[in-house]
């Protein structure tokens, strides 16, 4: 193990993983903070819609994000086509698809909503009169921000930045698709060692390194959060107001325009490319999805869509049953055991999809002799892995709601003649129902888009949609590219729809994630 860790390429990979995560985090926070301010402090036409749409990138499958950035920045980009025709230059003047810029931009695109939601949420709760009070005591605008707003906002910024860092540190799909052979994070390297070089010991060592770093990170983060926490009294009334005067409208307009371009351009390019067919526009790429086996996939694309839907349904079901049972246990066991169990279930969040996939292969391989059948070849393996990845979301959605149910409601039901089981069914279940629906929706969306773990464990003849997109994108040719675009658009639409529905549901009694 020490032998593996001291190899120069490991240091290179670890260094790249770290610095790209740091730079991505700084860029994301820097670009999203102004938007958090605008969304927290101002009301403007379309604010709700824009706020809801802004979370869509965050829930998009990584493969779709990769595909969207290939559509925007790759050789077949509409930008490039436009540059070629107007400048009359040779092929593709703008080649960003295998550069660090594509990776960083995709990370900003992907994680923008985290900062917007977390920091914006706290900012909106921050009483604007705190700034007024500072101003009246002689603080300039900038001094008031530095002395009052920023210290109060800092825990939220740190929290959002930590999450962004965690996600970019474990980034896999985006880097695999956009980085090309030159860039590898620990995740990508684990995959390469396993799938391409078949060097499991190196992969295992890298996995341990990865998990160790993540653990250290989480510990650091929780200590920092405890030190900084300041109890905020929420602002008495909604704090957002209409912008006043030209300068405020300019700020709001500018920030919104930047947000729309940043988040909209890749999606727009993806849709545009998916409709571009044979020199013009049409639905040819979509029609091809329903056609016979393509040369890239060796099977009809429709099969991948079917696989994805079936897997997602199973994963969702497994997640709901397990999540409900686990939540009951966590909500009832208030002591150390409950906390430990809670932490155990959060583990998949703290590790990464690739490690889950790798663990499934290695773990069930080791179990191989004990079980009467080989789970590694079972088609159930994929939904099980998806359920494991999605379980923390379900538990996070359900447990707070369960804990918030007033125990006296159950007592009231008992006094009115309900048995404990009946009381639970009549009181708890309906109240938890919404949260369960939300959690189930997340599980479905997560399963649909899951890429890292699936790449490890899916059999070649039963790919899911993200895998099919990945394979299509690694093929040369306009047809495969077009089909990949079309399938990405379908996957994006289904996921976005699921999440927007969830978002509407959540604005009720459901818990928080």
With CB under 8 A as the contact rule, which of the stretches 15-23, 74-82, 211-219, 227-235 interacts with other proteins? 227-235
Find out whether 22 and 165 touch, Cβ atoms under 8 Å: yes
Per CB under 8 A, the list member of 98, 135, 303, 376 interacting with other proteins is: 135
| Contact between 137 and other proteins per CB under 8 A | yes
With CB under 8 A as the contact rule, which of the stretches 231-239, 320-328, 368-376, 378-386 interacts with other proteins? 231-239
Q: Both ends of the chain: CA-CA distance in Å? A: 37
**Nearest Cα to Cα of residue 122 among 241, 27, 231, 225:** 231
The angle subtended at Cα 112 by Cα 456 and Cα 508, nearest 5°, is 90
| Contact between 146 and other proteins per CB under 8 A | no
* Distance, CA of 29 to chain centre: 16
Tell me whether residue 136 or residue 321 sits nearer to other proteins (CB atom).
Answer: 136
State the Rg of the chain over Cα: 24
| Contact between 11 and other proteins per CB under 8 A | no
Q: Report the C-alpha gap between 481 and 478 in whole angstroms.
A: 5
Residue 15 burial class via C-beta count within 10 angstroms: exposed 0-12, middle 13-18, buried 19 and up? exposed
| Contact between 374 and other proteins per CB under 8 A | no
Tokens at residue 117, please? 């939601």
Per CB under 8 A, the list member of 22, 200, 217, 232 interacting with other proteins is: 232
| Contact between 132 and other proteins per CB under 8 A | yes
Tokens 């550069």, residue? 99
With CB under 8 A as the contact rule, which of the stretches 10-18, 234-242, 443-451, 483-491 interacts with other proteins? 234-242
| Contact between 408 and other proteins per CB under 8 A | no
Find out whether 173 and 64 touch, Cβ atoms under 8 Å: no
Question: Nearest distance from residue 253's CB to other proteins, in Å?
Answer: 18
Per CB under 8 A, the list member of 90, 198, 231, 416 interacting with other proteins is: 231
The angle subtended at Cα 396 by Cα 390 and Cα 400, nearest 5°, is 160
With CB under 8 A as the contact rule, which of the stretches 10-18, 47-55, 229-237, 341-349 interacts with other proteins? 229-237
| Contact between 152 and other proteins per CB under 8 A | yes
Torsion of CA 369, 370, 371, 376, to 10 degrees: -50
| Contact between 250 and other proteins per CB under 8 A | no
Find out whether 228 and 154 touch, Cβ atoms under 8 Å: yes
Question: Nearest distance from residue 232's CB to other proteins, in Å?
Answer: 6
Tell me whether residue 182 or residue 244 sits nearer to other proteins (CB atom).
Answer: 244
Binding site for other proteins (CB under 8 A): 127, 129-130, 132-141, 143-144, 147-148, 151-152, 230-233, 236, 241-242, 244-245
């Amino acid at each position: 193990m020490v032998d593996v860790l001291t190899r120069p390429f490991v240091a290179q990979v670890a260094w790249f993983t770290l610095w790209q995560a740091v730079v991505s985090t700084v860029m994301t926070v820097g670009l999203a903070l102004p938007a958090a301010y605008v969304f927290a402090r101002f009301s403007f036409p379309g604010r709700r819609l824009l706020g809801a749409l802004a979370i869509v990138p965050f829930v998009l499958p990584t493969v779709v994000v990769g595909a969207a950035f290939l559509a925007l920045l790759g050789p077949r980009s509409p930008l490039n086509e436009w540059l070629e025709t107007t400048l009359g230059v040779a092929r593709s003047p703008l080649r960003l698809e295998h550069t660090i810029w594509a990776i960083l931009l995709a990370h900003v695109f992907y994680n923008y909503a985290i900062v917007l939601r977390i920091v914006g949420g706290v900012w909106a709760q921050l009483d604007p009169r705190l700034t007024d009070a500072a101003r009246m005591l002689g603080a300039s605008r900038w001094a008031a921000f530095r002395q009052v707003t920023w210290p109060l906002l800092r825990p939220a910024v740190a929290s959002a930045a930590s999450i962004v860092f965690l996600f970019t540190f474990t980034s896999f799909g985006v880097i695999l698709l956009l980085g090309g052979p030159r860039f590898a994070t620990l995740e990508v390297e684990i995959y390469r060692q396993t799938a391409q070089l078949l060097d499991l010991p190196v992969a295992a060592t890298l996995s341990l390194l990865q998990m160790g770093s993540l653990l250290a990170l989480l510990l650091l983060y929780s200590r920092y959060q405890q030190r900084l926490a300041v109890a905020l009294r929420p602002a008495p009334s909604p704090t957002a107001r209409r912008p006043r005067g030209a300068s405020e409208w300019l700020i709001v307009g500018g920030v919104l325009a930047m947000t729309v371009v940043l988040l909209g351009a890749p999606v727009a390019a993806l849709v545009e490319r998916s409709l571009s067919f044979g020199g013009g526009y049409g639905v040819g790429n979509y029609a091809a999805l329903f056609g016979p086996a393509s040369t890239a996939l060796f099977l009809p694309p429709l099969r991948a869509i079917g696989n994805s839907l079936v897997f997602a349904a199973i994963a969702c079901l497994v997640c709901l049953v397990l999540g409900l049972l686990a939540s009951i246990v966590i909500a009832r066991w208030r002591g150390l055991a409950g906390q430990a169990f809670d932490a155990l279930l959060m583990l998949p969040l703290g590790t990464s999809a690739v490690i889950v996939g790798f663990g499934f292969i290695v773990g069930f391989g080791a179990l191989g002799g004990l079980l009467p059948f080989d789970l590694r070849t079972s088609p159930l393996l994929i939904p099980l892995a998806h359920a494991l990845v999605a379980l923390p979301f379900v538990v996070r959605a359900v447990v707070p709601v369960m804990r918030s149910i007033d125990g006296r409601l159950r007592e009231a039901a008992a006094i009115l003649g309900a048995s404990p089981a009946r009381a639970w069914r009549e009181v708890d279940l309906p109240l938890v129902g919404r949260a369960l629906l939300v959690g189930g929706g997340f599980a479905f969306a997560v399963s649909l888009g899951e890429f890292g773990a699936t790449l490890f464990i899916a059999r070649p003849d039963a790919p899911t949609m993200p895998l099919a997109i990945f394979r299509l994108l690694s093929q040369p040719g306009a047809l495969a590219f077009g089909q990949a675009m079309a399938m990405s658009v379908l996957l994006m639409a289904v996921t976005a729809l699921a999440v927007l529905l969830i978002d509407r549901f959540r604005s009720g009694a459901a818990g928080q994630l």
